[in-house]
Amino acid sequence: METWEVWYPGAASDGLLVARGKCDATNSLWLHAAPSVIRVEVRTEDGQRLAFGDQLTARVEGPMTRLIRDGMQVRREDRWPAEADIGALVMLPGGEIGRLTAWWNAADEQEWRWSVEFYNHR
């Protein structure tokens, strides 16, 4: 398991936590409603840092951001999900992580419809 933390660095003295979620190891994670600038940390269960990205600035306006782990770095990719992204992990503000099960957006990007499936096991 890994912990993905997303911070908005422009608030408070050390930033404001946007989301903290746990999932199986992955090299990409979608984030819904990301702030315009974020800091991302990926850690092991015992707290060892696996990857980091700071001052990751949005380049395109939209509801979804794809976080990509590239070695020890995290990159930000702001784009609309495509058919190939169905099944990918999505983290919501707060940290709940689910799987993208459907996505549609209008050609003018003024409306969209999507669904995410959540599964929990104790």
**38-68 residue pLDDT tens:** 999 999 999 999 999 999 999 998 999 999 9
Mean of pLDDT over the chain: 95
pTM: 0.94
Instruction: Please give the pLDDT value at position 11.
Output: 85
Bigger pLDDT: 60 or 121? Answer: 60
Instruction: Please give the pLDDT value at position 96.
Output: 97
What CA–CA distance (Å, rounded) separates 51 from 75? Answer: 10
Q: Please check the confidence at residue 122 and state whether its pLDDT lies above 80.
A: no
**SS3 label, residue 84:** helix
What CA–CA distance (Å, rounded) separates 102 from 116? Answer: 7
Instruction: Please give the pLDDT value at position 10.
Output: 85
pLDDT in tens, 73-92: 999 999 999 999 999 999 99
Instruction: Please give the pLDDT value at position 22.
Output: 96
Instruction: Please give the pLDDT value at position 120.
Output: 82
C-alpha torsion angle, residues 52, 100, 121, 17 (rounded to 10): 40
